[in-house]
Structure formats: structure tokens, C-alpha cells
């Protein structure tokens, strides 16, 4: 098996690192703080935005999985250095660069999102994500690096506690049978990408040369609205029915005065107010990873949150 590097140890980075270790790879995780080693995983304290530091940490690796993500309010200043350092490490070491992307780069669209859509976002966060991939793809086309991007919808599943509709703002209340609130229209169809499927896709494309040089949408189940997902989760938890309320724009505007996260989400509010649908058929036509059955996603998520909430009491 090979040596592989994972940048970042949030939910996606941790899931990717642990899956690689399960498959027998030697894994080195790069974070600012470092962590205690775990089976098959070495944790290295380094600044991933520092090209020289990252190059040294990545020597000998066959793949670099770029899963780091600064807080939303720092994207404008921190994404470009992270991407530049990851590309420099890929060029110096010869490792394939596997970038974890999202859907912000497309901007508002009128139908399901495919990889063929232009990266037409005009907002800061969308342009930052678009430029990151455009930079890596340009270097790939020049023959300087090998690069591929896996784009995911809103993360959903065990260990996902921040961001999205179905994480820390929803699950604790739902488990207690209390009403939940959500951004935008709770009845709008929305794609939810299950976190373990993200890790599976990241690992798969790293070893598939025919995947390199383009972006792929992570396998994702057909869209369901927030209301439909809450109904499924509450039924699994045995707390049905749970009321779902959309937060009025005025409430969000007031909250944005005090919350950096809500201020940043104003730019991508369109994702919550209208259908936001991922088409992952291109990936599924080429590779073996498939979206986990919805019933398994729901059960695993409820089980994980029950355990977490029980341990916190």
C-alpha cells in the first residue's frame, strides 16, 4: 500500500484519513494543531498554507487529499494560499492532488447541477472556490501536476456537527421532539451528500488516472427537502412528528448583525430558497462508489447523534 497525505481533519478530512488507514495505506494528516497518533495515522503539526512546510510533510506520498477549509469569513484571504501550497506540494512530490470541492462555484442555476456547468458564481465565496479549481486544473493541463476535484453537496451524517441544515442546529432539537428551524424554504428540494460517501469518492479517484484532470460530483441520493429529511430522521428517532419552520428573512437579517456565519451565508442564500439539486450520474457511470442507501444514512446519523447527546449529559 502507499503513503498518502490528508490536509485538514474536519469531518471530511477525518473520514478520508480513517478510510485510507482501513484500506492499509500509511496516512499522514496535516493540521495546525497536530493530534495524538491513531492506528495507521500520523498527525503532523504544520501550516498547510506554507508551501515549504507542506512539501516536506508530503514527501513520499502518492496522493495529497486537500480537505482543509478555513471558517467562511476567512475564505477570501485563506483559500488562495492553501491552494497554492497544495499545488506546490503536488508539483514537487509528484503526488496526485485530490481536492474536496463544493457547489458554490456554479452560482445560482436553473436546474440540476452537472459538472459541465460553467463556474459562473459572482459572489466572493463562489469565486474563491472556482479559482481554486481553475488554478489546479490549469497546472494539470500544463503537465505540472496531477489534479482532480470531488464536489459535494451539503454534508450530512455522523460527525457532521457544524454548517448545513441537518447538523447542530437541528439534530439535538429533533431528538427531543422539539420544533426545528431552517434557512430558506423548508419544502425546496435539496441534495444531501453523505459524509462517508465523500471519503469513498476521494479515495477512489486518487487511484484512478482516468479521473484526473476534471471535477466530479460525489455520488448523492435524489434530493429531499429539509421537511422530508426531518420527517425521516424523526421517524427513525421515534420523535415524530417534529415541526419544521423556515426562518423569516427579517430574523436572518437581525441575526447577521451578531453572527459572522449568518453574515456569510447571505451570499449563498439562494441555495436554501430554491431547488438545489446535484446530478452525480457522470461519476456513477465511470466508477464504483455509490451513494449509501438513504435508510442506512438516516439510521447511522440518528445513532451517532443519540450517542453524542447522551455522552454530553
Taking only the tens place, the pLDDT of each residue in 224-264 is: 999 999 999 999 999 999 999 887 666 666 665 666 666 77
Predicted confidence at residue 44, as pLDDT, reads: 96
pTM for the full model? 0.94
Angle between helices 75-93 and 51-58 (to 10 degrees): 40
Quickly count: other Cβ atoms within 10 Å of residue 244's Cβ.
Answer: 22
Give the CA distances from residue 53 to residues 48, 89, 92, 106, 188, in Å, rounded to whole numbers and listed in that order: 7, 9, 12, 32, 44
At the topology level of CATH, where does 3-156+192-220+280-286 sit? Rossmann fold (3.40.50)
Listed by start position, the domains of the chain span 3-156+192-220+280-286, 171-188+223-277+293-312
Mean pLDDT of the region 73-100 = 96
CATH classification for the domain delimited by 171-188+223-277+293-312, as one of 1.10.287, 2.30.29, 3.90.25, 3.30.70: 3.90.25
184 — pLDDT class (breaks 50, 70, 90):
confident
Amino acid at each position: 500500500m502507499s503513503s498518502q497525505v490528508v490536509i485538514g481533519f474536519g469531518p471530511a478530512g477525518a473520514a478520508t484519513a480513517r478510510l485510507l488507514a482501513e484500506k492499509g495505506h500509511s496516512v499522514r494528516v496535516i493540521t495546525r494543531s497536530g493530534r495524538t497518533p491513531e492506528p495507521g495515522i500520523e498527525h503532523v503539526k504544520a501550516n498547510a498554507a506554507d508551501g515549504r512546510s507542506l512539501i516536506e510533510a508530503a514527501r513520499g506520498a502518492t496522493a495529497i487529499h486537500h480537505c482543509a477549509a478555513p471558517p467562511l469569513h476567512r475564505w477570501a484571504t485563506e483559500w488562495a494560499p492553501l491552494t497554492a501550497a497544495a499545488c506546490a506540494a503536488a508539483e514537487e512530490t509528484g503526488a496526485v492532488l485530490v481536492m474536496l470541492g463544493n457547489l458554490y462555484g456554479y452560482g445560482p442555476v436553473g436546474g440540476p447541477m452537472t459538472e459541465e456547468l460553467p463556474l459562473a458564481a459572482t459572489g466572493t465565496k463562489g469565486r474563491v472556490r472556482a479559482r481554486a479549481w481553475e488554478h489546479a486544473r490549469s497546472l494539470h493541463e500544463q503537465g505540472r501536476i496531477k489534479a482532480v476535484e470531488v464536489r459535494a453537496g451539503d454534508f450530512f451524517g455522523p460527525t457532521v456537527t457544524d454548517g448545513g441544515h441537518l447538523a447542530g442546529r437541528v439534530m439535538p432539537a429533533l431528538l427531543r421532539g422539539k420544533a426545528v428551524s431552517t434557512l430558506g424554504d423548508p419544502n425546496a428540494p435539496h441534495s444531501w451528500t453523505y459524509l462517508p460517501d465523500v471519503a469513498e469518492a476521494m479515495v477512489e479517484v486518487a487511484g484512478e488516472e482516468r479521473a484526473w484532470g476534471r471535477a466530479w460530483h460525489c455520488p448523492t441520493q435524489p434530493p429531499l427537502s429539509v421537511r422530508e429529511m426531518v420527517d425521516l430522521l424523526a421517524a427513525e428517532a421515534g420523535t415524530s412528528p417534529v415541526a419544521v419552520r423556515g426562518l423569516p428573512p427579517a430574523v436572518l437579517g437581525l441575526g447577521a448583525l451578531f453572527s459572522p456565519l449568518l453574515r456569510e451565508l447571505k451570499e449563498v442564500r439562494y441555495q436554501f430558497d430554491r431547488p438545489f439539486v446535484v446530478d452525480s450520474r457522470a461519476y456513477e457511470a465511470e466508477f464504483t462508489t455509490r451513494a449509501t442507501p438513504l435508510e442506512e444514512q438516516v439510521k447511522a446519523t440518528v445513532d451517532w447523534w443519540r450517542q453524542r447527546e447522551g455522552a454530553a449529559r
